[in-house]
Structure 1
Amino acid sequence: MPGTGERAPLLFLHEGLGSVGLWRGFHRRIAAATGRRSVAWSRPGHGRSGPPRSPRTPSFMGEEATRTVPALCAALGLERPVLVGHSDGATIALLAATVLPVGGLVVLAPHVLVEEFALTAIRAARTAFDDGGLRARMARHHDDPDAAFRNWNDVWLDPGFRAWDVRDRLGAITAPVLGVQGDADPYGSAVHVRTVAERAAGPVALTTLPCGHDPHLELPATTTAVVTRFLDGLP
């Protein structure tokens, strides 16, 4: 969506099973409320985008953050964007901010390490995809639902992913950060946003909401207000 040239543009990075459509209009509401240019895209292997160039490995979030996001910003002329990410997309936003000049970060339910109870939820998602209705629901939003699901689920459940931990990289973040975490999130506890607050070099504001993993979908009005207030306060 277009916006004024006076404020940094917004780049939205969706979650592990997401796509542009699965923001459910959240990006449009934020753009309308702030007057900022807003760009939402389906990451490789999601939505209507083509597949990743190579099979994903446990380092895929770091690779997308340091290669794909800077290339996308350069191609679209997004200077010092504010990165708005959810779940895996929030982690990608955090890691991108360690190498890319950004105007700020909004991270909804980010991940910075692996928690055992989150893996339980991810195993349950595999059962829902293989034996339940998750694949049919994903097929409405992804050209290749199997690739979209496996590229997320297989990596998270790879034994080599247990040691994944990006906490030591957070100190390179100097831009203002808003961290939003649901208090009943089956995929992650407050340890993730608290760690960002402890380790990032710039200012970090934290908001805990009474919801699960998708604050922008479960509490859309509240989340929109929290994010808009943060964006309005950026330099």
Structure 2
Amino acid sequence: MCVHNNQTIEVNGTLIRFQHLKQNTDPAAPTLVFLHEGLGCIEFWKDVPSLLAQETGLNILSYDRQGHGQSDPLSSPRTVEYLHHEAQLVLPLLLEKLGISRPILIGHSDGGSIALLYAAHHPTRAIVTEAAHIFVEEVTLEGIKHAVAAYPKIKDKLYKYHGEKTDTLFYAWADTWLTPEFIGWNIEKEVNNIQCPSLIIQGIDDEYATQEQVTKIVSLIGESAISVMIENCGHTPHIQAKEATLKQMLTFIRKVL
């Protein structure tokens, strides 16, 4: 098994930090690509990538998006199209540079929405989403307002991962979602194009979404999509309900393979 930690690669003029675990030499085997949440980075996945690598024997890719973790800082203000930019420009370029095609995407929150947008336009073996959004709900905006009010208390925790980029990243996330232009953000039309096997996971107690997100995603993708609502779990299933979430992911990935 060959593990490359904390490499950087230039993508669209930006230095991106990534970790690439290579253990499978079969060119037909898909790579599991992890897409972190809106305030996240590689570390926010904890040991989930390594556990899935161990159990499936697949190669793993995790990376910090621009503005996050150890990647370059944001170079311009975010637009309401920031998730489209990542899914349709950055991620395809990154995968191409690393020689990865038809990935299995595993995305949490913003990362889940990016996974859906990528799969709507690019060949994808399968997707797993946790707490993905495809439209804006009042509960989402309320959750973000609570996060803004709590920011002074959580800033140090985020600083540990994002350093001097922390303030810029936090307000890029919060202000973009709370801008009046973002209210109309909706990717249902694109999700309707997805044809690959899809596992759509959400915590029943998710503080940023209702079950309508999951219901809608599954109805748009159709029979190749499975929904899983996890009990006693909020916005972060792979941490708050790790065992149940990993079990669902593994069962799904093995079926896909």
Same fold (TM over 0.5): yes
Segments of structure 1 that go 5 or more residues without pairing to the other structure are: none
Correspondence 1:136 to 2:156: yes
Deviation at 1:202, TM superposition (A): 5.8
| 2:139–2:210 Cα contact (<8 Å) kept | no
TM-score, normalised to structure 2, is: 0.88
- Asked whether the equivalents of residues 174 and 202 of structure 1 are also in contact (C-alpha less than 8 Å), the reply is no
Aligned to 1:2: 22
Residue pairs, 1:103-182, within 5 angstroms:
103-129=125-151, 132-143=152-163, 144-182=165-203
1:15 — aligned with what?
Answer: 37
Among 195, 199, 208, the alignment partner of 2:216 is 195
1:36 — aligned with what? 58
Amino acid of the structure 2 residue aligned with 1:92: I
Match of 2:229, as an amino acid?
Answer: T
Q: Is the 8 A contact 1:104 1:175 kept in 2?
A: yes
What is aligned with 1:215?
Answer: 237
TM-score if structure 1 supplies the norm length? 0.96
Contact 1:177 1:202 in 2 (8 A): no
Percent pairwise identity: 33
Q: CA RMSD in A?
A: 1.2
* Structure 1 outlier segments of 4+, above 6 Å: none
Query: One-letter code of the match for 1:52?
Result: L
Would you say the 8 A contact 1:172–1:201 is kept in 2?
no
5 Å-filtered alignment, 1:61-72, equals: 61-72=83-94
The 8 Å contact of residues 175 and 202 in structure 1, kept in 2 or not, is answered as: no
Higher relative contact order (CA 8 A, sep 6+): 1
Contact in 1 for aligned 2:119/2:194 (Cα 8 Å)? yes
* CA distance 1:5–1:190, change in 2 (3 Å): farther
